[in-house]
Structure 1
Amino acid sequence: MTADHAFEELVREAVDAPVDGWDFSWFEGRATEERPPWGYARSMAARLARVSAALDVQTGGGEVLGSAPVFPPLTVATEGWPPNVAKAAALLHPRGAVVVASPEDAPLPFADAAFDLVTSRHPVRTYWHEIARVLRPGGMYFSQQVGPASAFELVEHFLGPQPQEVRRARDARRARAEAEIAGLEVTDLREARLRMEFRDIGAVVHFLRKVIWMVPGFTVEQYADRLRCLHERIETEGAFVAHSTRFLIEARKPGERG
C-alpha cells in the first residue's frame, strides 16, 4: 500500500465513522489520553446516590450519567444536539431518567430550587446564574471541565498560533469568580495537564469531527494539506503528542437543605 493510499484509507474510515454521543471506544489502539486523577464518573456516582433530585446538563449521549449504578428518584438530563438527545433517551429512559431537549445557550427549563445536585462533564459553557437558580439551598454543582489551551498543539497545527485571550479561555480561576458572582461557594477546584497521543491520522480526523469546537468548521477538504503534513509526521515519529487540560469544580448554594 502506498503512503498516499494509506492516508486516504485512514481518512475515509474516520469520515465514515459516526460521531454522535460521547463514546470514545473508536479510538482504542489509535489514540490515548491520560485520565484526570480525581475520577469524575466515580465521584459523580457517589453524589447521585446521596440526593433525591439531580440534573445532568449537556449530557451528550448520556454515557457518563448512565455509568452511575444508582439514580436519584428524580433524575433529569438536558442535551441540545438532536442525535445525542435520541441516544441519551434510549440509554437513560429505561432507568427512569427524563431527557429534555434544550439548547445549550437557553435558560434551563426548570423551576427555581428544583434540584439537590447539578452535574456536567465538559460543558461547552457554564451558565452559572442558571445553575444557581435551579439548585436548592445547600445543593451542589459538580463538574469536570475543559481547561485553557487544551490540545492546542493540535489546534495550532491547523489554525496557527492563537492569541492569548483564546489560550486563556476556560480558565479555572475565571470559573471560580463567575460561580461566586452567581452566589455559589466554591468548595473544591483542581486542575490537571494530561498527555494525549494520536497514532494515526484517522484518529486526528475523528477527534476533530467529534470535538467540533477544537477547529471550528473542520473539514478534510479544507485542511487536506495540514492533514497530509501531520500524517507524515506521525509516520516518522510514531505518534503526535498533545496535552489536554481539565479542571474539577464543585460549588455549593448557600443555605440548608429542606
Structure 2
Amino acid sequence: MSEQPPPSPTPPAPHTPPLSFASPASRDRFEALVAEADAVSVDGWDFSWLDGRATEQRPSWGYARAMADRLAGARAALDIQTGGGEVLAAAPVLPPLTVATESWPPNIARATARLHPLGAVVVADADEPPLPFGDTAFDLVVSRHPVTTWWEEIARVLAPGGTYFSQQVGPASVFELVEYFLGPQPPEVRRARDPEDARAAAEAAGLDVVGLRAERLRTEFFDIGAVVYFLRKVIWMVPGFTVEQYRPQLAALHRRIEEDGPFIAHTARFLIEARKPL
C-alpha cells in the first residue's frame, strides 16, 4: 500500500466535529488504536504494519513481475526514486550494471543495505534535474510511484532504443480520505497526474509511448489506527497531519467505521512504457 503526492491540497475545512463515541468501550478502543499508530515508526517505504488493518487492490498488470522481466534482459538499468529498494530487490535477476537513486535519508540507508549485497549501487539524489548520470547511460529506466517524472532527463540518460517503464499514481487517488479531512478539492487538483498528461510529456521529450493503461482500485481501512498510520507515513495526502490537530475528525471516522464497516477509498494507478527512438 503506497501513495505519492497530490498537488497542493487546499487547507482543511473549518468545520470541526465534536468528540463523540458510542460507548466508553468505543472511546477506549479509539484511544488505544490511535496511540499505537501514532507511536510506531513510519521510516522506510514498507507498509506491512497495515497487514490485516487495510487492503489495497493491486493493478491487473503486475508491475513488479513485468519490471523483473525487463530487468532480466537489460545490460544497464536505473531505478529512479527506489524508496527502500523493496521492489528492485525482489527481481530475480539484475542487470550487470544496476543503479538506484533515492532522496530521503532513511530510505537511502535502507536501500543501500538491501541492494548492495545484490550488486546494485544506490546514489543519493535530490529528485531534481539533472540526473547524476551521463547521456545514453542506460538501456532501461524504471520507477514505481515517482513523485515527479523528469521526462527530458529520462530521455537524455536512455540509450537509443532504451525503455522507460513506470507505474505511477493517477488523478484523485485516495481522495475519499483526502477530502474527508480537507474538504472538496478544486478540479485542477483532482485531475492532476492524468495519464494523458504523462503521454504528452513523454512525447514532448522525444519518446514514443508504446503502452499506457490506467485503473481505479478499491482500498479499505478497517480501523482508525490504519488511517493514522497511513496519513503519518504518506505525509502529502493531508499536509501537516497530526493526531492532535485532527482528533475530532478521527473520532468521528472511528465511530463511522465501527458502525458502518471499513472506510472505502479508491487508488488511481497507471502504467506507462516509453521508448527512445533508435
Fold equivalence (TM over 0.5): yes
TM-score by length of 2: 0.90
User: C-alpha offsets along residues 118-160 of structure 1, whole Å, 9 cap, x if unaligned?
Assistant: 0000001101011111100000000000000001000000000
Contact 2:76–2:95 at 8 Å: present in 1 too? yes
Larger displacement relative to structure 2 (30-39 or 212-221): 212-221
Contact 2:129–2:153 at 8 Å: present in 1 too? no
Following superposition of structure 1 onto structure 2, how do residues 1-258 of structure 1 map, counting pairs within 5 Å? 2-255=25-278
The secondary structure found in structure 2 opposite 1:29 is: coil
Amino acid paired to 1:77 = A
The secondary structure found in structure 2 opposite 1:2 is: helix
Distance in 2 (alpha carbons) for counterparts of 1:144 and 1:251: 12
Unpaired runs of 5+ residues, structure 1, are: none
User: C-alpha offsets along residues 19-74 of structure 1, whole Å, 9 cap, x if unaligned?
Assistant: 22221211111000100000000000000000110000000000011110100000
Distance in 2 (alpha carbons) for counterparts of 1:79 and 1:193: 27
Distance in 1 (alpha carbons) for counterparts of 2:44 and 2:273: 25
CA-atom RMSD in angstroms: 0.9
Larger displacement relative to structure 2 (22-31 or 173-182): 22-31
Distance in 2 (alpha carbons) for counterparts of 1:106 and 1:44: 24
Partner of 2:14: none
Deviation at 1:213, TM superposition (A): 1.6
The secondary structure found in structure 2 opposite 1:77 is: strand
User: C-alpha offsets along residues 180-200 of structure 1, whole Å, 9 cap, x if unaligned?
Assistant: 011110000000010000000
Contact 2:129–2:150 at 8 Å: present in 1 too? no
Distance in 1 (alpha carbons) for counterparts of 2:253 and 2:178: 12
The secondary structure found in structure 2 opposite 1:21 is: coil
The secondary structure found in structure 1 opposite 2:193 is: coil
What is the percent sequence identity of the aligned residues? 71
Distance in 2 (alpha carbons) for counterparts of 1:185 and 1:138: 10
Distance in 2 (alpha carbons) for counterparts of 1:56 and 1:97: 10
Contact 2:219–2:265 at 8 Å: present in 1 too? yes
Larger displacement relative to structure 2 (19-28 or 196-205): 19-28
Q: Does 1 or 2 have the higher relative contact order (CA < 8 Å, sep 6+)?
A: 2
Distance in 2 (alpha carbons) for counterparts of 1:99 and 1:223: 37
Amino acid paired to 1:136 = A
The secondary structure found in structure 2 opposite 1:232 is: helix
